[in-house]
Structure 1
């Protein structure tokens, strides 16, 4: 890869932030509507959240092929191919709804997940060529783009859900396709995105990197932050409708949640610089615990929305902190394979959490979903405290 100047690095972070604003609408649409379309199309209502779960499975399985494409073709080409795949997924989902084919809708959401694996990589792409002091801020810049996606996605649902007469939600997935394809001219603006020469050989074996304590703690923190957030968020729209709230209120709840997921990104990078990656990650996990407490205290629209806001802010601190921890675990020539392994483990766990969420909601209810936040948070706080202590001693 041509050497990136500081100006190029900042430009790429801004470009990827813009692309994130379009790609970030993809999960917002799938997650807010996937369970509802599942209830509409599936004969077995316990499978209602299967489309969302398959989205997360596609996200996990797409990480390694996406990394291979980035290594061979460069980030720009791989990201543009991902956007085309996202467009195809949206159109296929709309077609499956119009024909009433639940299985095909599940295939479409899984394909949308592979697009999501490219979008998730934007946060790592922004760190290419960045110095250590700018990495956390570069990640935050990209995540800020999700703030726009948080508005675009749910608003697309609200304004287009009845756009195709007599076929609820099909228009929203056409909108998803349009948003994915709109990212293509944005991604063309990336600089220095040919195949990185530094990654054509060398580096430590992946097993050696994966067995290090620092990497294990970072991955576990990412798994809990993203996995438990997905676990609760997947069930939330269905739980809201089951409690008598409207589809519009459920979609707005997801919008507030996604806004809370990305809004703090304006300051998260600076907080990490000031307080450290581990402490910001721990703060995020504690906020997720607060989310569970709010959800357990009532079933009003306000309780659902406030719980989802705390869940989103907690995810932001936890996931950005964990991502920044991962960037400390590899050398330049090792980055693609380590990033791919991290995302495969994180999003594989997210898929498992999403699969279990619908069945557990159907069998045990909304309260059980939220009680399970507490043991997960408690388990990861201990190694994070240990890692924070090591980091502080090393800096002393």
Structure 2
């Protein structure tokens, strides 16, 4: 490994202004708080951009193609674009810092939204699909921004920092869909198809998120964290010696954190995707479907602040087990709920969102704990690729399972699949000397 040589270069080449952060824990705390504020502002814009576009993507494709056959393509392209962008944003962040990587991702998503508007104006389906793929970069940046707030956090603050970013996403995610009608009317007033209206909001929101990060995320938290960690490691070089066992422990943390997030994402997306279909088949209207999904999305994000504190206080593994148990309860309840029982479906989907929330925050904290600043962003980007792909797989497989069997089978399968989190966590505990980095 060349980690130590990279750290030596970082120590030798860091600019003079960084020394003040190295020497002052108080300045580090101030930068940590300032970084969180900037991330929160960008996440509010990012959440609005993401939700506004996703709300009408399928409807726009349906309208332009005159068929339901390709209505699912936008969601697939957004997911595919998000997966590819996660990898690129992670590597850009590692090479040039969080500011560059996240700002580039959000701005790319904004240009994708502009492409969707042009596609609607010219009725160009190929431009629409390509633009939706690019639009996915905004989604990837919105998810990866949760890591930026944790770069300068201590091990007892990391989950809380992650949760603050997720909570702030909620404000934009709730506002975006509620502005669909307003943006549709605005689009019509300037000669743009009404269904492209939300993408006007999406373009503005993603571009603003990128500009906020580019202008104000200074000094870059990841760059500061790299140098501080390099200096700290040099000071402790006589005490701590990196060996194969340390590497195995770190790799174990990465694998466990990734496994938790991948499993929870797959289970959540699979059950969530087919719940509206199940409800419509049993006579529930769009308002009822909207209520259930709205409560589900609220449960995904709103508990984050409390979840972050619990993850920091009770431990990552305890909350990962709680995630598995909560998802199991959600699956069993969704499977057993009578088709006409709105209350039970609401509770089941709320538990589904809450279980996902537990898994995402505990898994993210494990990834941050197990990675070094010199490789952290690149590793996080790679993990987010697999999270995006697991969500896409869950959504695709859910339709097949329901078509071949039933919603009950899907819900039970998802619930019991989440129990795999428990042996994963037990395996992680085999290492008694696990260290939080």
Whether TM-score is above 0.5 comes out as: yes
Tell me the SS of whatever aligns to 1:169: helix
Q: Which residue of 2 aligns with 1:265?
A: 304
After TM superposition, list the pairs within 5 Å mapping 1:144-183 onto structure 2.
Answer: 144-161=167-184, 164-165=187-188, 167=193, 169-183=195-209
Unaligned residue ranges in structure 1 (runs of 5+): none
Alignment of 1:300-339 (within 5 A): 300=340, 301-339=342-380
**Partner of residue 218, structure 1:** 257
Change (3 A) 1:267 1:231: same
CA distance in 2, matches of 1:168, 1:304: 32
CA distance in 1, matches of 2:216, 2:53: 27
Equivalenced residue count is 392
**CA displacement, residues 157-209 of structure 1 (integer Å, 9 cap, x when unaligned):** 3544565459553222222222222324432222311883848x99999xx66
Mapped contact 2:48–2:176 kept (Cα < 8 A): yes
Stretches of structure 2 that go unaligned for 5 or more consecutive residues are 1-13, 22-26, 234-241
- Counterpart of 1:5 in structure 2 is 28
Q: Is 1:231 equivalent to 2:282 in the alignment? A: no
Which has the higher Rg, Structure 1 or Structure 2?
Answer: 2
CA gap of 1:242–1:186, structure 2 versus 1, over 3 A, is farther
- The Cα of 1:10 is off from its aligned counterpart by 1.5
2:94 maps to 71
Distance 2:379 2:71 in 1: 34
Q: Using structure 2 for the length normalisation, give the TM-score.
A: 0.78
1:26–1:112 CA contact under 8 A, matched in 2: no
Say if 2:170 and 2:301, in contact at 8 Å, map to a contact too: yes
Task: Name the counterpart of 2:39.
Answer: 16
Cross-structure match for 2:223: 196
Q: 2:418 & 2:318 partners in 1: Cα distance?
A: 14
Q: CA RMSD in A?
A: 3.4
Contact preservation (8 Å) 2:257, 2:367:
yes
Distance 1:138 1:363, change over 3 A: same
**Cα 1:45–1:52 shift into 2, 3 Å:** same
Q: TM-score, normalised by structure 1?
A: 0.85
1:385 maps to 2:426 = yes
Task: Determine helix, strand or coil for the equivalent of 1:137.
Answer: helix
Distance in 1, matches of 2:124 and 2:343, equals 35
- Which residue is equivalent to 1:343? 384
- Cα distance between partner residues in 2 of 1:125 and 1:92: 28
Question: 1:47-94 CA distances to partner (integer Å, 9 max, x unpaired)?
Answer: 432321221221111112112222333221222222222222223334
Shift of 1:210: 9.9
- How far has the Cα of 1:389 moved from its partner? 6.8
Shift of 1:242: 5.1
